[in-house]
Chains A and B, each alone.
Chain A
Amino acid sequence: MNKEYIIRNLKAILGRAYPRVIAANREYSWIIADIILPLLSVIAYGTLYKFLGASKDFLGFAVLGGAMSAFWLNVLWDMASQLYWEKMSGNLQLYILSPISLVSILLGMSIGGMLATSLRAAATLIVGTLIFKLDFSLINITQLLLVFFLTLAALYGLGMMLASLYLIWGREAWHLSEFFQEPVYLVSGMYFPVKFLGKVGFFSSLIPLTVGLDGLRQLLFKEGATFGFLSVNIEILILIILTVIYALLAIYYLKKMEYLARKEGKLTIRWE
């Protein structure tokens, strides 16, 4: 791998991240949609908790879950489905023809997606905090940052892996994203502590959001540790393992997808 190749790929990462951050912000309706849609769920679930007489920390759990759901939506719709849509718009063949690695393309999309979604998630968190007058009690900032960034790394690794799988699965991409939305909200404990799901929680820990969200709740709310699923240190370890596994699987499936697509001549076929 020579220096020129590395620079070219770094440029590709930057080039693919650019539209995610800059161009996405040109369409105001998307910004509003990305903030308002999770916020509506947050208000609904928060109000339900309030009506049921839950403590303020539970409202906080719902708000945090709503904010983090923006990342899951971004991974599903803008990462996993992306290569399929690139094929539909005719860009995929250009990516493969160009002298860069497809990993750089996906990495660029991830970095751009993370940045843009962080702003939207922060907006949901701020508005939710103001509406429900939440009290945060920060336990350990180093662990908090570690859990947050590892969650994103593992989550976007999963997104990169799904991007290749979606391409292989074909025109069901749209339905798959729809399918993975609410069920993942349920099994990852997006709006309630995953501890209450019992053994299901161990299986859903394969979704980085499950352990990430649980860790963040433990580190941000007084009652977080009481309702914690695993200890924060174990959750950090799980997130590191998931990051590595999903990154490796993403590279493997990307190569496999590219090989299959070339072999079967499907790179330029639309609506399939």
Chain B
Amino acid sequence: MVFTFPHMGNIYMAAKITFDGLGIRYVVPPKNAKRALEIGSRISPEEMCLPFKIMMGNFVQSIHQGADCILLVGSRGPCRFGEYSELQYRLLKKAGYDVKFVVAKFQEEEDKEMDLASLKDIVAGVQMNKGAMIGAAVRGLRSMYLVDHLERKAHANTGYERSPGESRKLYEEGVAAAFAECNAQRAFTVLKDYKRRIDAVSLDKSKRPLKVAIIGEIYTIIDPFSNLCIEDKLMDLGVSSTRKLTPSWWITDTILRFFRLNGLDVIRHSGDYLPWWIGGHARECIAEAVMADREACDGAIQIYPMGCMPEVVARSILPNVSRDLDFPIMTLVVDEMTGEAGFITRIEAFLDLLERRRNKCII
């Protein structure tokens, strides 16, 4: 079997290093672009959310390159992400692509499985002992943390660097160099090397660039294509940005969930506004807005795909968070129709506002 998986930011790096380590055949779908979205929108329901459509594009493009089994993470929250695999399987079949799905589930394992391949099928062809297999998987997970570290540093360092753009260059170089490497161990070493270099970037902490937190729906804030590369735009403008939701955050959260220790800071910070888990990452969104204010960010930008149910709830709460904390929050909704010019205008206007707030008029 040849495996494939949907794109979401940099998770392809971790997947590549894991599969290379295990010696499993796989296809990395072409980078998210207009083409994937076009293919996806054509075969997806009109009112589906943006991540679904982009993922469908990824799958079709991968299938054309020879993939025949799709790896996906499942969920049983009330957000529609949990029904993705069901519908995607059917729609792909309808469009003439007969593929298998492997859905990794981490909650409430009472599901019956039908046409689903299981984790056993993935490792069936691997000629390795168990220890080496676990080692390769752990290396894959650790590389996710490394890539996220590079990305976080690149975004956070913007504006503070003595030679502007250094961290960003290191991040982009590091990811490209690790991706070009076919040996898992060497790719991992490359990432570690770049981590060391990015940690050594010289910063001038006396500078005071604008600092913005990116909050909202996990896919659209992690995946640069779906949010029209908002973080790159912020870096271009010399704005430092932070984002709590990353693939590695998700891994940590999922592991902690087994011990019921996940989201403790989320519970603490969102308690006043949203004391219940309502699915998706609505509660995280509220908590991150509150945390961003505590961490002396100048403002926050919420991004979510059109029609995202949990984020609509979060959006109706955010104006009050903003008012109570005197903390500016802008909401951007993305879908396949989002125009880039309108997007840029709004971001620039928001940043102008943040800048002006700093020189508060005292009269």
Whether A associates with B in a native complex is no
